[in-house]
Structure 1
Amino acid sequence: MGSALTTIGLPVALGIIMLGLGLSLRVGDFTRIAKHPRAVFIALVCQLLILPALCFGLVLAFNLSPVLAVGMMMLAASPGGTTANLYSHLFRGDVALNISLTALNSVIAVFTLPLITNLAIAHFMPGEETLGLQLSKTIEVFAIVLLPVALGMFVRWQWPTFADRMDKPVRVASVVILIVVIAGAIVSNLDMLLENLGQLALITVLFCLLSLSVGFFVPRLLRVGRTQAIASSFEIGIHNATLAIVIAQTVLGNTELSLPAAVYGVLMFFVALAFGFGLRAAYRRVDAAEGAANSAAASSV
């Protein structure tokens, strides 16, 4: 990717996306977590423990090159993006829970993303100290992730009417910017991408599908409500691909590391959409069967 786009365009694009997230957040979105501790705890366990382990297994099974393996692990460590909130709203999830999870995950990722990335580098690329996220790099991640969010929250606190008015335009702009960033990453590195597409397409689709499934079925097995499980599914299944791309290219200075996130960022829209419609169809059948059973029980009384 061109140097100007890498050093200026990518951070600015991510800043706008994270600013948009901040405009939708209030302090209450953090305190609301206390009202649903079980759902939040289960979602965090899925996000922080199960997903990295799952991704690690996929990487070993597909025998990816060391750099692409680290890129996949970085993607797995990235928090949910604002797109998760949109999908949750579309498929009738608990959007308030989504917003709270996104807020919490964005804070936690400042620490867990460097940790998981360093562990992946130590395993797949031992001796590559130049790629390690030292303290200065961790501070960069902190600035990239949290400062725009904090600014957006400050704007909402000081000028709530303005924040409400800007919320939808910034959300739309965020989605457009996300698409442009990912498209730019693909086009600018097309040759490198085509060389690795055969390895990356299937593993990123599988990772997205498994992430969505873990995010939904694990909470449901643990008796979390339907709408909260839907929120968890999209929060865990839709990662912030832009964040992974920005960190790979601007913080770590390695374009190849960003390829898994770039491919995932394109394919996740379709996988998540198909998963959402699949859930909707399944629940329509369940609700119809329950309605018929209730009618039959009522008529027999």
Structure 2
Amino acid sequence: MDSPLVTYLLPAILAVIMFGLGLGLTVADFRRVAAYPRIVAVALVCQLVLLPAACLGLVLAFDLGPELAVGMMLLAASPGGTMANIFSHLFGGDVALNVTLTAVNSVIAVATLPLVVNLSLDHFMAGTDDGLGLRFDKTLQVFLVVLVPVAAGMLTRHRRPDLAERSTQAVKVTAMVALVGIIVAAVVAERDNIAGYLADVGMVVLLFVAISLTTGYGATRLARGDHRQSVAACFEIGMHNTTLAMAIALSPSLLDSTEMAIPSAVYGVVMWVVAMAAGFLLRRIAPARSADLGASSLPG
């Protein structure tokens, strides 16, 4: 994996992915926080504090190896993925709230993700000579390849909305095809260890997905959010950006570790199945929630 092509290609792919995310955001998505202040605050606390803490508990309880443990923490620190918007739409969630949470969390993650990863590396990789980490120069690189492309995408959306609409899908497909190719190459290189990795991390990933989805819905209900807001938070908090996590793990200029990418790869498969099951369950209980108190259906 440590070739000049991959060294420069992965950060470029990550930048393109985040540019595509920016193409779908507007300044209004950030301003909309004022319409949901309490719900946004609760969702962010879940995403930024509760889930990393829960993930740490799972990692310690299952005694994962250092690289897999860091990979799980990287996944937990990653913001919600764009698939959350689609699942929210399919299963009756408040998609506007999803977009708002994605916008805010993606910006905040520029600071929190390197912090969580560095603390995880210091704890789980202490005493190793791998030289891994997201120190200042690498943290700056994360900032450059995450926040700057998002801002550029938003600027393009503002200045050339027609161009943004036409190019959004092409940008996503191009970046994903390139990333999938690199992931396949990484899996082939580690093919002798894959079965062991899956056995080690599979149950941890399954429990983390279930905890994430349950926390998203339950915490929002406790905060007096209505069913649609709770469904939105369920998927936003429960569906992490595996693409971002894998790109950071695999990039030779960042973590350069196939093993650290394994939890995100497994999560990317398990998440679909569990999230789909959760969606059908939420759809079944929606009628029972239709008589929510009027106060709980108000914004925020």
TM-score, structure 1 normalization:
0.88
Q: Higher helix proportion, which one?
A: 1
Q: Which amino acid aligns with 2:223?
A: L
Q: Which amino acid aligns with 1:231?
A: A
How many angstroms apart in 2 are the aligned matches of 1:71 and 1:7?
Answer: 19
Contact 1:185–1:262 (CA<8 Å) still a contact in 2? no
> Is the alpha carbon distance of 1:139 and 1:123 closer, same or farther for their aligned partners in structure 2, counting shifts above 3 Å?
same
Question: Cα RMSD between the aligned structures?
Answer: 2.2
Counterpart residue number, 2:41: 41
Counterpart residue number, 1:268: 271
Q: How many residues align?
A: 288
| Residue 256 (structure 2) aligned to one of 239, 243, 253 | 253
> Is the alpha carbon distance of 1:212 and 1:258 closer, same or farther for their aligned partners in structure 2, counting shifts above 3 Å?
same
Instruction: Tell whether 2:285 aligns with 1:282.
Output: yes
Counterpart residue number, 1:55: 55
Q: Tell me how far 1:181 sits from its aligned partner.
A: 5.8
Segments of structure 1 that go 5 or more residues without pairing to the other structure are 291-301
Q: How does 1:145-294 map to 2 (within 5 A)?
A: 145-170=146-171, 183=184, 185-250=186-251, 251-284=254-287, 286=288
Between stretches 165-174 and 261-270, larger displacement belongs to 165-174
- Larger Rg belongs to: 1
Counterpart residue number, 1:296: none
SS of residue matched to 1:282: helix
> Is the alpha carbon distance of 1:133 and 1:74 closer, same or farther for their aligned partners in structure 2, counting shifts above 3 Å?
same
Contact 1:23–1:152 (CA<8 Å) still a contact in 2? yes
How many angstroms apart in 2 are the aligned matches of 1:33 and 1:171?
Answer: 26
Q: Tell me how far 1:5 sits from its aligned partner.
A: 6.3
Contact 2:78–2:244 (CA<8 Å) still a contact in 1? yes
Counterpart residue number, 2:18: 18
Instruction: Tell whether 2:75 aligns with 1:75.
Output: yes
TM-score, structure 2 normalization:
0.88
SS of residue matched to 1:146: helix
> Is the alpha carbon distance of 1:253 and 1:121 closer, same or farther for their aligned partners in structure 2, counting shifts above 3 Å?
same
Q: Which amino acid aligns with 2:93?
A: G
Percent identical residues: 52
Q: Which amino acid aligns with 2:141?
A: E
Counterpart residue number, 2:298: none
How many angstroms apart in 1 are the aligned matches of 2:74 and 2:113?
Answer: 7
Contact 1:2–1:188 (CA<8 Å) still a contact in 2? no
Contact 2:93–2:230 (CA<8 Å) still a contact in 1? yes
How many angstroms apart in 2 are the aligned matches of 1:82 and 1:116?
Answer: 22
Contact 2:43–2:216 (CA<8 Å) still a contact in 1? yes
Q: Tell me how far 1:219 sits from its aligned partner.
A: 0.8
Counterpart residue number, 1:297: none
Q: Tell me how far 1:136 sits from its aligned partner.
A: 0.5
How many angstroms apart in 1 are the aligned matches of 2:90 and 2:149?
Answer: 26
Segments of structure 2 that go 5 or more residues without pairing to the other structure are 292-300
